[in-house]
Amino acid sequence: MTEVDAAEARRAIEHYYEHGWTDGLPVVPVTESYLAEFLARTDRDPDEVLIPMPHLNKNLTVRLAAINAALAGCLPSYFPVVVAAWDAFLGDGMVTRSIWQSTTGTAPFVVVYGPVRQRIGLNSQGNVWGSGFRANATIGRAIRLGAINGLGLKPHVFDQATQGTPAKYSCCIAENEEDSPWTSLAADNGIGPDDSAVSATVIRSVLHIEARHTTAPEQLAADFADSLCRTGALVRARASGYVVLNPEHARLFNKHGWSKADVQVAIAERGWRTYRDMEKTGKEAIAGGTGWRLPADHPDALPQETPEDPDTPVQLIPAPEAVHIVVAGAPNAGVSSIVETFGVVGRAPAIVKVEEK
Amino acid sequence: MLERAGIPAVSVCTDAFRITAEAMANQMGFPGYRYVTVTHPIASRTEKEIDEMARQALPDVIRVLGAGLTYPEVTPA
């Protein structure tokens, strides 16, 4: 690259900053011809609306999704995954309910399954939540830039997040199907073994679960349940989330004859706290209308009976279906994670097949 | 939306959401939209405090209800 070219590239990058078309990081300049390469990867009409947002007079079209994928640094070959992710967000339902305008400040969370992972170089192994992999970094970023530029959800304006989360820059992982003892979450939900798919939802925190020394599956299930039921996560009445098991933890469960469904049941059974714990943090009651957790003496609290025994359990994970399990990461230590979701609790995940062209 | 349907209405939000309220009004084609702000927060106040806030906001609510939809000096873009 010559000096003149470098200056032109910087000028183009600054042009995007001046228009506020970034997430704070530099974006890749997009020309009509480069956009056409993305649109050529799908049979979908460029004007088709992927996400309608009528209350903001905005529609995220296939074209806008492609522009933002290019801005994010995606290669055109990633675009079918981005389209499937937007379809999954529509199915998940939280984005169209304006969740990205909310003070909670949720991030888009995308998981990719099937052979497309290898074709485009998605990382499902070590450092799966970390940086260093173009497909993961840019597919997650394509969603976030689509929200900012396509749906107009800019921070301090329509995005009213109180603090947000680092995951808002990008949050895309792939399931480590090769090192998992079980079928993938996509396969569990009807996707064929030769097909690729994407699940999408909105999340708050990603928490580390360090459990390196236990050999008892019951202890491991209790550790996950404890974190899923931390009181700080409880804005709503119930807890839900993804458990992203590293292959070592998944194999431990499998070695003891536990299926993935058994793990879900075991975590849900342990998904409670005592009334005393709930009262200690002012979350023992439920609000009328919103259904949020708050102190029993709050004016919005629904009337309820105080249990005689303060150690009475309050069930927080309502059912095994409130816990989705994905295997990802390296099989090199007992380190897994919890992903705190913000969608409807206890429902099948929104999963969409990737249509590659 | 209610006002578009011919139903008199007053929007009330806390002052923490003023920027978003203005942006929303512009986005919906009503720059200069009249609304009422109250002091943030709401969620952590007692019933008595909320009643007092409502009492203090009432003259503003009545004023906005009886006024035009937008401030006259602002014309739609």
Has residue A89 been placed in a domain? yes
Q: Which amino acid is at A215?
A: T
Where are the alpha helices (H) located in A203-270, listed in sequence order?
Answer: 217-228, 247-255, 260-269
| Cβ count within 10 A of residue B56 | 11
State the pLDDT at residue B28. 85
Residues with Cβ < 8 Å from B68, sequence gap 6 or more? Answer: B34
Domain count, chain A: 1
Q: How far apart are CA A277 and CA B52, in angstroms?
A: 33
What are the chain A neighbours of B17 within 8 Å (beta carbons)? 160
Has residue A302 been placed in a domain? no
Note whether B67 contacts A: Cβ–Cβ < 8 A: no
- pLDDT, tens digit (0-9, with 9 covering 90-100), for A313-347: 999 999 999 999 999 999 999 999 999 998 777 78
What are the chain A neighbours of B47 within 8 Å (beta carbons)? 299
State the pLDDT at residue B77. 46
Mean pLDDT for A6-29 is 96
State the pLDDT at residue B73. 60
Contact A156 B19 (CB under 8 A): yes
What are the chain A neighbours of B24 within 8 Å (beta carbons)? 158
Has residue A5 been placed in a domain? no
- Please name the helix (run of DSSP H) or strand (run of DSSP E) that holds residue B65, with its range, or none: helix B47-66
- pLDDT, tens digit (0-9, with 9 covering 90-100), for A27-37: 999 999 999 99
ipTM of the complex as predicted = 0.78
What are the chain A neighbours of B28 within 8 Å (beta carbons)? 57
Å from A163 to nearest chain B CA? 14
In A, minimum Cα distance to B25 occurs at A56
Task: Indicate the average pLDDT of chain A.
Answer: 96
Percent of chain A, pLDDT > 90?
95
String of b and e for A158-195 (b: at least 16 CB within 10 Å)? bbbbeebbebbbbbbbbbbbebbbbbbbbbbbebeeeb
State the pLDDT at residue B74. 58
Has residue A104 been placed in a domain? yes
State the pLDDT at residue A96. 93
State the angle between helix axes of A217-228 and A260-269 in degrees (0 to 180), rounded to the nearest 10. 60
Pick the more confident residue, A72 or A4: A72
Task: From A188, A213, A209, A33, select the one nearest A113 (Cα to Cα).
Answer: A188
Mean pLDDT for A250-264 is 98
Note whether A101 contacts B: Cβ–Cβ < 8 A: yes
- Whether residue A181 has pLDDT greater than 60: yes
Given B23, B43, B47, which is nearest A157 (Cβ)?
Answer: B23
- pLDDT, tens digit (0-9, with 9 covering 90-100), for A280-297: 999 999 999 999 999 999
Has residue A7 been placed in a domain? no
- Whether residue A57 has pLDDT greater than 60: yes
State the pLDDT at residue A59. 97
State the pLDDT at residue B75. 53
In B, minimum Cα distance to A299 occurs at B47
Note whether A36 contacts B: Cβ–Cβ < 8 A: no
Q: Is A113 left (phi over 0), alpha (psi -120 to 50) or beta?
A: beta
Chain A contact probe: residue of B2, B14, B27 with most A CBs at under 10 A: B27
Pick the more confident residue, B2 or A244: A244
State the pLDDT at residue A345. 75
Q: How far apart are CA B21 and CA B27, in angstroms?
A: 10
State the pLDDT at residue A171. 98
Note whether A158 contacts B: Cβ–Cβ < 8 A: yes
Helix (H/G/I), strand (E/B), else coil: A108? strand
Contact A158 B24 (CB under 8 A): yes
Task: From A84, A220, A214, A224, select the one nearest A143 (Cα to Cα).
Answer: A84
Cβ atoms of residues A217 and A243 within 8 Å: no
CB pairs below 8 Å between A and B: how many? 19
In B, minimum Cα distance to A295 occurs at B44
Cβ atoms of residues A108 and A202 within 8 Å: yes
Has residue A161 been placed in a domain? yes
- The Cβ-side half-sphere exposure at B49, using a 13 Å CA radius, reads 11
State the pLDDT at residue A53. 95
Note whether B20 contacts A: Cβ–Cβ < 8 A: yes
Å from A309 to nearest chain B CA? 28
- pLDDT, tens digit (0-9, with 9 covering 90-100), for B9-36: 899 999 999 999 999 999 888 888 999 9
State the pLDDT at residue B2. 80
Pick the more confident residue, A304 or B71: A304
Which residue range(s) make up the domain with A179?
A: 31-271+316-353
Instruction: Give the highest mean pLDDT range of A350-354, B28-32, B63-67.
Output: A350-354
Contact B47 A56 (CB under 8 A): no
Chain B contact probe: residue of A158, A281, A283, A293 with most B CBs at under 10 A: A158
Q: What is the pTM of this model?
A: 0.94
State the pLDDT at residue A141. 98
Q: What is the CA radius of gyration of chain A?
A: 21
Cβ atoms of residues A345 and A236 within 8 Å: yes
Has residue A2 been placed in a domain? no
| pLDDT-based confidence at residue A243 (cuts at 50, 70, 90) | very high
Has residue A202 been placed in a domain? yes
